[in-house]
Amino acid sequence: MPLLTFETDRREQFRDITDEVRAAVREQGSGSGICVVYSPHTTCGVTVNEGWDPDVAADAVRHLGELVPRFRGWRHAEGNSDAHVKTMLIGASVTLPIDGGDLALGQWQRVFLCEFDGPRERRLRVTCVSA
């Protein structure tokens, strides 16, 4: 099961990782089936959304910041409670269809690593199951 490593460069960002996930799918040689992209981090999630217009990701980061403010009198001592809650909302994984050895995404869809406590190094697991 491939382990993909990414560096993030901001505290909060949606980083397009579609090409790296596609390469991992090809490496595993799945013709058709499913691919699970999983984040083992508690302050970093994974999602699928529009990748054509970068304003969509920027809007998502901004809106999550409005829903879950960074400074709100959180009890968690590390000062990153907002990152934990945002990750709970986004989720730690996505399950994607594979068809013809490639991700079967919609026309505008891309896979995003959702960083909420960066910058830092992140590792994601990519597991493919053939049908």
Structural domain boundaries, residue 113: 3-130
The per-residue pLDDT for range 33-57, each reduced to its tens digit, is 999 999 999 999 999 999 999 999 9
SS3 at position 69? coil
pLDDT at 76: 87
| Number of domains into which the chain is organized | 1
What are 63's two structure tokens?
A: 């809106």
Render pLDDT for 62-114 as a digit per residue (tens, 0 to 9). 999 999 988 888 788 788 999 999 999 999 999 999 999 999 999 999 999 99
Mark residue 86 as left, alpha or beta (left: phi above 0; alpha: psi -120 to 50; beta: remaining).
Answer: alpha
Q: CA 62, CA 123: separation in Å to the nearest integer?
A: 24
pLDDT of residue 29: 82
At 74 the pLDDT is 78
Q: Tell me phi and psi for residue 86, to 5 degrees.
A: -60, -40
Assess contact for 16 and 109: CB atoms under 8 A: no
CA–CA separation, 85 and 93 (whole Å): 15
And the tokens for 6? 């990414």
Share of the chain above pLDDT 90, in %: 86
Kindly tell me if the per-residue pLDDT of 30 is higher than 80: no
pLDDT score at 93: 98
The enclosing domain of 108 has a CATH number of 2.60.120.460
Question: What DSSP string describes 75-121?
Answer: --TTS-HHHHHHHHHH-SEEEEEEETTEE---TTEEEEEEESS-SSE
Which percentage of the chain shows pLDDT scores above 70?
A: 100
pLDDT of res. 79: 84
Query: CB of 127 within 8 A of CB of 68?
Result: no
Rounded-to-integer distance, Cα 33 and Cα 56, Å = 29
pTM of the predicted model as reported, rounded to 2 decimal places: 0.95
